[in-house]
Chains A and B, each alone.
Chain A
């Protein structure tokens, strides 16, 4: 079955601390993975996709096919990073399967 698992509902850190939001997937084909972010009362917006291998707002994510993971990392969290983060897997080239989301709280 195709599935995306985000094991943490809530992750709380202090400003300047490292952050890792976990994402594991189950997919029989070659995965296309994304991280979306939703700031308070705003629309979802794309943060990262694995094929671009870029860093956005200091966040990076590496696809590990052996561990079927796509964890999102940032070395030094900022208060403005507080948001809901969703990991998503693209299925059949045009449909997304979302994880249940992790709320990141960054305290000053």
Chain B
């Protein structure tokens, strides 16, 4: 099993461009998450989806939108990229409450 798969692994954008980060999991997990990782700030939750068809804001949702396309897939969209969104983005999933989250390899995004 691949676990959590993120695409692309790297991307460079210009300010104002749009971009969708893809995430898929093959573990039949209900909950999925998007985080950003920045130096000195750890991981911060952007959005999460507790189940198919539901999404909720996390700690830093501004400038992002998400779609829980089905149980497997949870995408993150930047409608108009800004340099402050330069970061490493991680997708994660978990099957049941109180269970550890499984992470993808991350997407390194640079916005010029």
Contacts and interface: CB of A to CB of B under 8 A. Distances in A.
Given A46-B100, A93-B97, A98 B58 contact: no
Chain B residues touching A, range:
20 to 34
A43 B4 CA distance: 10
Given A44-B90, A94-B50, A95-B58, A100 B41 contact: yes
A64 B105 CA distance: 32
Which residue, of A32, A94, A99, has the highest number of chain B Cβ atoms within 10 A? Answer: A94
A43 B98 contact: no
B40 A9 contact: yes
Contacts of B48: 94-95
Contact of B104 (A43, A46, A86, A101): A43
A93 B98 contact: yes
Contact of B90 (A43, A49, A101): A43
A49 B101 CA distance: 11
B27 interface: no
B42 A43 contact: no
Contacts of A44: 43, 90, 92, 103
Contacts of A93: 97-98
Chain A residues touching B, range:
20 to 34
Contacts of B25: none
A34 interface: yes
A45 interface: yes
B45 interface: yes
B40 A96 contact: no
A42 B50 CA distance: 25
B97 A96 contact: no
Given A9-B40, A100-B42, A94 B106 contact: no
A45 B44 contact: no
B75 interface: no
A90 interface: yes
Given A42-B105, A95-B48, 5 more contacts: A32-B98, A44-B43, A95-B45, A95-B58, A98-B42
